[in-house]
Amino acid sequence: MKASKIIGVGSYVPDNVFTNFDLEKMMDTSDEWIQQRTGIVERRWVSDDQGTSDLALNASLEAIKSAGIDKNEIDMIVFATLSPDHDFPGSGCFLQAKLDLPEIPAIDLRQQCTGFLYAMSVADKFISSGSHKNVLVVGAEVHSKGLDKTPEGRTVSVLFGDGAGAVIMSACDVEDRTKERCFIDAHLHSDGKFAKELWLPGPGNSFERPVRIDQQMLDEGLHYPQMNGKTVFVHAVKRMAQCLQELCVKHRVSLEDIDLFLFHQANLRINSKVAEVMGIPEEKIFNTIQKYGNTTAATIPLGMNDAVKEGKLKEGMLVASAAFGSGFTWASALYRW
């Protein structure tokens, strides 16, 4: 049967390191407060001249090199981001131009922290249908330019970093998806009634005003992300565990069979709680939030590349990923590296 597999991975983070001590100078916070609540020690923020597709370009070039293919063999781009270069067109088009890959389709996905798993699933469906052979899947974010870096924004702004990750998913033939090297399956979910528990209100077209943004919105801080932290935490733990379990049951895979867990990196406490609830040994979970913060759609591919470089992720390993984010959206994926 037709399937897809990951044949290359790449990542990129900006050079600028911002530690918790750097944030102490901007906000009413402390290194101890941030570490206790999130596990984050530092994050990377872009220089003024860097945009989302610039980060994506660097990650993509490394993924292409890792895959050992010519860039012209790529026949589709799927780009997950909530922080595009511009409102329109999508960042996939800007990345396509920078890669000089004219005419191939470029799809942008706006599924926030769950975006990369959605993007991998979309790529897998196109490849498994036989219509495409090599798909570049990217998750990239520039959060730092849209954060409230004053004391009023501390509960949200300390969480986020900038970065990008990418994989090349390529066509293959398998007889048994669960035993051979391939993307096995993904389960995707959402529940829009919680949309305003974690969201960016403005600019927007749903306000009873004749413009998408005005001074009143700016004065009210509606152009900064807003989050109900307790609600997000509870739902993240529940939904990540739930969708991971349902995927394992479907494919008759036990948690003990899984060699490595690459979870979305939103909060170290969330991942630790998921591990506790499911009985997953902490040493099987590869975390990067300590050094990158929450890079939203980029966290999972960033983790993949770091895990490969550190010798934690090796060919033949069975890997599980789970993510939860704004929307609410959540997803799980199972793949053999």
pTM of the entire predicted model? 0.97
264 is catalytic: yes
- CA nearest 55: which of 254, 266, 291, 296? 296
Rounded to the nearest 5°, which phi and psi values hold at 37?
Answer: -95, -20
113 is catalytic: yes
Complete domains list, the chain, with CATH: 2-173 (3.40.47.10), 183-336 (3.40.47.10)
- CA nearest 25: which of 150, 124, 179, 117? 150
Choosing from 172, 264, 267, 287, the catalytic residue is 264
Choosing from 20, 58, 93, 113, the catalytic residue is 113
134 is catalytic: no
What is the rounded CA–CA span in Å between residue 13 and residue 55?
7
**pLDDT by residue, tens only, the chain of 337 residues:** 999 999 999 999 999 999 999 999 999 899 999 999 999 999 999 999 999 999 999 999 999 999 999 999 999 999 999 999 999 999 999 999 999 999 999 999 999 999 999 999 999 999 999 999 999 999 999 999 999 999 999 899 999 999 999 999 999 999 998 889 999 999 999 999 999 999 999 999 999 999 999 999 999 999 999 999 999 999 999 999 999 999 999 999 999 999 999 999 999 999 999 999 999 999 999 999 999 999 999 999 999 999 999 999 999 999 999 999 999 999 999 999 9
- Which residues neighbour 88 within 8 Å (Cβ) at sequence distance 6 or greater? none
146 within 8 A of 180, measured Cβ to Cβ: no
What is the rounded CA–CA span in Å between residue 122 and residue 302?
19
